[in-house]
Amino acid sequence: MEISRAGEARSNGESCTTWSALSSARTSSIRSKSPQAILALFGPQMTHREKLELAAIQEVWYFALRNRSRGPNNDGYDDHEHHYIPVQHEHLHYRYEVLKKIGYGGQGQVIRCLDHMRNTLVAVKILVSPLSSKRDKFQRMEIKMALALQGEGSDEDYNVVKVLKYFDFRGHHCIVLELLKESLHDVIKEAGLRQLHMGMVKTYTRGILKFLCHTKARSIIHADIKPENVLIKDTVTGTIRVTDFGTSFFVKSQPLYVGGTRPFQSPEVLLGYRLTCAVDMWALGCTVAELVTGRELFQSDSRDDHLPCCMEILGLPPRCMMDAAPDGMHYFDRVGMMFCPVKRRVPGSLSLHGALNSHDPEFVDFVSSCLRWDPDCRMTPAQALGHSWLRTAATSTTSTTSNATTTATPGSVQCFGAAERRAEPALPPSSALAQASKWLTVVVEEEETPVEELLVQEEETLVEELVVQEEKTLVEELVVQEEETLVEELVG
């Protein structure tokens, strides 16, 4: 294969000189070039830093030379917030060609790149420059968590995003991932007012649950399950991959500060309890609710407002959970009354089925089982996979109008704390649903019977009053007739 140099290629208004080990036909027949050869070609135009980088590289698969400074930090490579500034068609680590930015966040950005060694498209996550040892530790933990979940079949069987490689480049930790399609957040936005097909919602839910089975088996908490972190692998089959391990950690090594996204944070995070894998099940319930309704279930205004927002729909937590919470005084007074932020929220004033806009008891029960206050009472991923909602055929679970009103009823036994927790015996989801249906039937019958009796009593009373009134009227008429007859006889 002929090795060629492309001179003065234009991209984003800047000039660059590039060299690629791929042929113009983009075939899989590739050949690398040594760093010494690159130095011979471009040495006079390279900076001292680039020459040092080349000295640590064994093979060069792609190279693009740019001399113009682009940012205020890190020799022009970083912006004001210390994010790397990618330029189209430049190189990353002398192997990956930058094509397009496809994701951005506070912790880093994701770039679509062409891997010139394997001639495949990949996604490279470039983390923000770690300016402190604390941030560097967090970023290394993200890489550690991503690698800990890798394994034979972890992507196909447990829907873990595949990590292809990781490296450091110009002061940034970089992770090379398989290139996937849009996220579930994008799917929700594209659907707009149209509801997602319930069959696909159930497929996505099963996919996330398989991932959570994998993390639970390894005692890992993802801690940021949400639609943005679930990417589509195959749009036809609904295959997904879970990504972003920036807030993940092992159960045995709890961090002092737990990250995550507020609308999906579980109450034990806010109340200061030690966390378990049930954190991710709470986030799953919020995610499934958003997939069905197209909006966040708990639309809180701030961190202080989030727990009151949850209580507005789910009612008050068990008293033992409030009393034993390390950070409970931030939300409750001495008698267990809730402190309200700017927005006044009344616990239990909104029903869960109303918030979900659904009258499907199986769907509401599924979400409710994920959103129990006591994490020990929530469904596990394995139990959720066996829930009747996921086993039944896909049907519409939402409606545009709702005439029925119900109040949130917290679990009858939801104590919280190591010494006083008394969890209810676990019931199969179908059995729990049957008991709930039986209870509702009894309540309805008890409510309907007095009403029917009152109606009958009112009808009987009304009839009696009418009969008495008619009798009185008849007697009065007879008395009048007799008086008139008597008068006529006397006159005559």
**Number of Cβ within a 10 Å radius of residue 382:** 12
Mean pLDDT of the chain: 80
> Quick one: pLDDT at residue 351?
95
**Which letter does DSSP use for residue 444 in this model?**
H
Q: How confident is the model at residue 394 (pLDDT cuts 50, 70, 90)?
A: low
Q: Which two tokens stand for residue 411?
A: 């679990």
pLDDT above 90 (res 416): no
**Which letter does DSSP use for residue 321 in this model?**
H
The beta strand positions in 68-129, using DSSP E, are: 91-92, 96-105, 108-115, 120-127
Q: What is the pLDDT of residues 100-116, one digit of tens each?
A: 999 988 789 999 999 99
Residue predicted with more confidence, 473 or 32: 32
Residue predicted with more confidence, 88 or 396: 88
Q: Looking at 78, 115, 224, 280, which residue is catalytic?
A: 224
Q: What is the pLDDT of residues 374-384, one digit of tens each?
A: 999 999 999 99
Which residue, among 305, 295, 250, 239, has the nearest Cα to 275 in the 3D structure? 250
> Quick one: pLDDT at residue 66?
67
pLDDT above 90 (res 244): yes
388 φ/ψ angles, rounded to the nearest 5 degrees:
-65, -30
Starting from the edge strand earliest in sequence, which strands make up the sheet with 14-20, in order?
A: 5-11, 14-20, 62-65
**Which letter does DSSP use for residue 492 in this model?**
-
Report which residue type is found at 111: I
Burial level of 399, CB count in 10 A (0-12/13-18/19+)? Answer: exposed
CB under 8 Å to 418, separation ≥6 — which residues?
Answer: none
> Quick one: pLDDT at residue 155?
85
pLDDT above 60 (res 187): yes
How far is the first Cα of the chain from the last one, in angstroms, to the nearest whole number? 145
> Quick one: pLDDT at residue 304?
87
> Quick one: pLDDT at residue 194?
82
pLDDT above 60 (res 308): yes
pLDDT above 50 (res 401): no
> Quick one: pLDDT at residue 325?
87
Name the pTM for this structure.
0.76
> Quick one: pLDDT at residue 440?
36
Would residue 224 show up in a list of annotated catalytic residues for this protein?
Answer: yes
For β-strands 163-169 and 120-127, DSSP reports them as unpaired
> Quick one: pLDDT at residue 488?
59
Lowest mean pLDDT among 40-49, 109-118, 237-246, 305-314: 40-49
Residue predicted with more confidence, 113 or 481: 113
User: What DSSP letter does each residue of 348-411 carry, written as one string?
Assistant: T-S-HHHHHT---HHHHHHHHHHS-SSGGGSPPHHHHHT-HHHHSPP-----S-----------
Q: What is the pLDDT of residues 419-447, one digit of tens each?
A: 333 333 333 444 443 443 443 333 333 33
Structural domains present in the chain: 5-178 (3.30.200.20), 184-426 (1.10.510.10)
Q: How confident is the model at residue 474 (pLDDT cuts 50, 70, 90)?
A: low
Number of H helices, E strands in the chain: 15, 13
